[in-house]
Structure formats: structure tokens, C-alpha cells
Amino acid sequence: MLRDGAHFGADPRRAGVDMPPQAVSVQTLDPPGHTAARRPLVDALRELDRAEVAPMVAGRARALLDELGGRDSFDVVTEFCEPLAVSTICRYLRVPEPDPVWFAQVAETVAAGMDAGVFPDRREPAMAARAELSALTGAWLADPPPDGIVRAVADAVRTGALDGAVAANTLRVLLHAGYTSASKLLALATVTLLERPGALAAFAADPSPHAVDELVRFCSPVQALGRVCVAPTELGGRRIEPGQDVTLFLGAANRDPERFDDPHDLRFDRRPNPHLGFGRGAHSCLGAPFAAVQTRVALTVLAERSASPRALGAPEYRVALTLRSPARMRVALG
């Protein structure tokens, strides 16, 4: 379904449903508009020196743990995973890092708004928070750095390859999605490993791409995606008409016993592993390779710092449907 652009789309206008201008971005456009918005991002990501990513993440992770090392315990979510993700996405974008506490609060308010259909009181705060992020990315776009993703988007606007409003929305979405997916994946992976004796050490002993894939499958933050039907079709033996919304529960798909043997077991050697943690098709996660590197490196650094880090009690989870993640979990390095 995620690859079936002929029958399902991210852009509701294809089904005759209006979309507010501030929502039109690479995330909500379908080809060919999506292709035009995504192209400068893909080109800029290709130009990034991937060899620099792992050392950059490791250096920042070690610096954060140095700051926390003199304490008996710390909140691994708010004091390690989230500030690391802020630093990482801003270095990818070649932009100054905002205050990490402010940014985490604003980003979480936007994320909470994804569930406004169930929790209506989250809608207005999310809109206000989204405006704050738009102001931040708008300033970057008005005065872009000499290279990198923001410069590529600004150049696409200047040459007429990309509409200015779509570019601004896309940059906001990229910042938020890049931070949110990376921080929540790392937080969930950390919680998952610390809850299982010996799991962090086992991962660090062989932090292969297969092991990271298994963490993404097992504890992916993205639990659901929405699409709109744009042409009559059938799905699972049921007739779907244009204009009808369809929700895909990716978290359930990643535990489907028909696709994965022992789906509730964490197995670092699982192959094949056709998980949907980073999506599929035209709207698959642009930053998936970088989120995977951040997860691998950060967990390895955490294991290097302490042979026996331990959780001090159960994690506290956010009340959320679309994006799953812990809000807090205290950890002692031992």
C-alpha cells in the first residue's frame, strides 16, 4: 500500500479534500510535486561525508556522558537521547543548535498534535509550536549556510525549482521529523536494551546493521501512518472508495507472526528483516541511514562508558498513538 501511489496518497487534495497551505510539504505531497521537493534534500544528503557522521555522534555522546558522569543517576531520555538528537540533526543541516530544552518541548508539542483527532485539546498548542519551528527554519532559509541541506533548499527556491512556501514547510518538517524519529528511536532502543540483562553488552559486541534493523523493528517509534484513497480499490478483501482515510499500524506490522518468526523476541541476527520502521515507497524516511548510525554509535558509547548501566525503575511513557516513546527513565551507569 505504501508503494501504491495510484490508489493511495499522502496528499488529500487528490481526493478532493482541502489542505491548509502550512501543511503542504515533502511529507504531504505526492509525485510529481513530492519529487521536486525531495530532490534537493536527496542531493544534499548524498554530498554529506558519511564518514564524518559516526565520529561526530560519538564525540557528542561522550561529551554528554562526561557531563553526567559525576552524578549517581540521570534521565537517559531528556539528558542524553534528546540533546544528542538535537545536536545531530543541526549538524546535518549545518545550522546553529537551538536551546535543547526549548526545542525538545516544542518538538514534543508538535508530535502530540499528531493525535489531535483523538485528543482535540492538543490541536491549538501543536499549531502554536509548529509556528515556532517555522520561525526558526524560516530564519535559516533567509540566511542559509554556505553548504548543506538548508542551502540546497534555498537554492531550489532561488532557481524556481521549488515553491518558497513548500520549501519553508519542508525544512520545518525535515527538522522535526529528523529530530523526533532519531531521539525516540534511541530512547526506545536504550530502554529496550536496559530492560533485558546483558542485551546492551550483546549489542555493543557486534553492532551490525542487522542488529540495528532488529531494534528498529522491535521498538520503532512510528506506530501508525495515514493515507487517503484516491482511486477505487480493494484492500484485504474490503472495498475502499476515494476520499476514505486508511491508517496503517506499522507497529503491529513489525510484529506480524506471518512475516517474522517469534516476533516478540529481540534477535540481533534476524534475517531477513523486512520491517516498516522507516516506511516504504516515495515517502520513506530520508534520514533512515543517519538515524541508524546515531542509534548504533550512541548505544556503543553508552556500553563503553559502563559495563553495567541499569535502569532505576520502569520508564514513564508518553500518552500517544502515532509516535511511541518514553518521556523519562532514570539510569545509573554503575
User: Sheet holding 224-229: strands in order across?
Assistant: 8-9, 224-229, 245-249
Nearest 5°: the CA angle 128, 12, 18 is: 65
Largest CA distance in the chain: 61
Return the pLDDT at 80: 98
pLDDT at 334 over 80: no
Per-residue pLDDT band for 69 (boundaries 50, 70, 90) equals confident
Return the pLDDT at 294: 96
Q: Which residue has the cell 521549488?
A: 162
DSSP strand E in the chain: where? Answer: 8-9, 74-75, 224-229, 233-235, 238-240, 245-249, 310-311, 316-317, 326-328, 330-332
Distances (CA, A) of 281 to 5, 20, 197, 268, 278: 9, 24, 37, 25, 10
State how far the Cα of 254 lies from the Cα of 146, in Å rounded to an integer. Answer: 40
Report the C-alpha dihedral over residues 190, 192, 194, 196, rounded to 10 degrees. Answer: -160
151 neighbors 145 (Cβ within 8 angstroms)? yes
Helices in 208-271 by DSSP H: which ranges? 209-219, 250-253
Return the pLDDT at 296: 98
Spell out the CATH class of 18-219+285-319+327-332.
mainly alpha
State how far the Cα of 108 lies from the Cα of 328, in Å rounded to an integer. Answer: 13
Q: Give the number of residues written for the chain.
A: 334
- Sequence spans of domains, the chain: 18-219+285-319+327-332
Q: What is the pLDDT of residues 137-160, one digit of tens each?
A: 999 999 999 999 999 999 999 999
| Cell numbers placing 140 | 535559516
Q: What is the pLDDT of residues 191-241, one digit of tens each?
A: 999 999 999 999 999 999 999 999 999 999 999 999 999 999 999 899 999
pLDDT at 309 over 80: yes
Strand partners, 9: 228
30 neighbors 171 (Cβ within 8 angstroms)? no
Amino acid at 76: V
Return the pLDDT at 287: 87
**C-beta atoms surrounding 37 within 10 Å:** 26
Return the pLDDT at 307: 83
28 neighbors 44 (Cβ within 8 angstroms)? no
Question: Residues with Cβ < 8 Å from 100, sequence gap 6 or more?
Answer: 82, 83, 86, 87
Q: Is 134 exposed, middle or buried (0-12, 13-18, 19+ CB in 10 A)?
A: middle
Question: Residues with Cβ < 8 Å from 135, sequence gap 6 or more?
Answer: none
Q: How far is CA 51 from the centre of its chain?
A: 21
Q: What is the pLDDT of residues 77-113, one digit of tens each?
A: 999 999 999 999 999 899 999 999 999 999 999 999 9
Compute the average pLDDT of residues 243-267. 97
Rg of the chain taking only CA atoms, in angstroms: 20
- The secondary structure of 284-320 as a DSSP string is S-TTHHHHHHHHHHHHHHHHHH-SS-EESSPPEEP--
| Cell numbers placing 290 | 543517519
Q: What is the pLDDT of residues 19-67, one digit of tens each?
A: 999 999 999 999 999 999 999 999 998 888 778 899 999 999 999 999 9
